[in-house]
Amino acid sequence: MNRKALIQEIKAKSSYLCTGLDTQIEKLPAHLSSDGNGLLEFNKAIIENTIPYSVAYKVNTAFYEQYGRKGWEWMEETLSYLPTNTLRIADAKRGDIGNTSTMYAKAFFEAMDFDAITVSPYMGEDSIRPFLEFENKWVICLALTSNAGHSDFQLTEENGKRLYEKVIETVCKWGSEEQLMFVVGATRAEKVAEIRRIIPNHFLLVPGVGAQGGSLQDISAAGLNADAGLLVNASRSILYASNGEDFAEAAAREAQLLASEMKTYL
């Protein structure tokens, strides 16, 4: 999915919602089986009921990898449920020496046909470059995250510039706004305006709205640009809006609520 198609989907749905599929078997509603069949039934129902409001879906691969070979199969099956007019993100946070990154890129972009993958920039250009070689695929680079330990490295300052700012400026030299996004946590809304001055046109993937307490209003005010430029992710607040038989309908209501608010900001 290229940038033009993504923007068209945002305009068509008046939404920049990304739904996270961080599904855990132990959190499935009681009426579903506590196994892969239950997980897939749950994911399919969530997707079918949130499609009208979601322009992207983010599959956190760790939630599937934990189950070994079967988990990878469930992830691929889940991916097959996603329509091609939504951006399908592998939240895998990969990044390694060049030939290893090439294999990761082939796994997620060719074998599984994800549209995008999250990457860690710590090992430098040769760890990210292989992902950028794929046409109509997105590389989503970690920049300023919302976890408690973000300050251990990301806020380190040298010559008046913080590390996350250097990461953004440097990575932008390796690719274009047609293929690069950056992860900025929703709980860092006060920094989004500063980041926008560095990258006014790039898309930002913003996790942390909903269960993690990030403010959609604050993120939107600071981060929206002419093309929207934001993909705001919500996972638990949508997935587990209800633990009853109405879980899919409740997920749809939560997604619709977020999308309706987004529409007022566009």
Partnered with residue 214 across adjacent β-strands are 209
80/112 Cα distance (integer angstroms): 9
Q: First and final CA of the chain: distance in angstroms? A: 21
The question of whether 93 is a catalytic residue gets the answer: yes
SS3 210: coil
Helix %, strand %, coil % for the chain, to 5? 45, 20, 35
Q: Which of 11, 58, 93, 166 is catalytic?
A: 93
* Beta-carbon count within 10 A of 30 CB: 8
Contacts of residue 100, Cβ cutoff 8 Å, sequence gap at least 6: none
159/216 Cα distance (integer angstroms): 32
Catalytic positions are 93
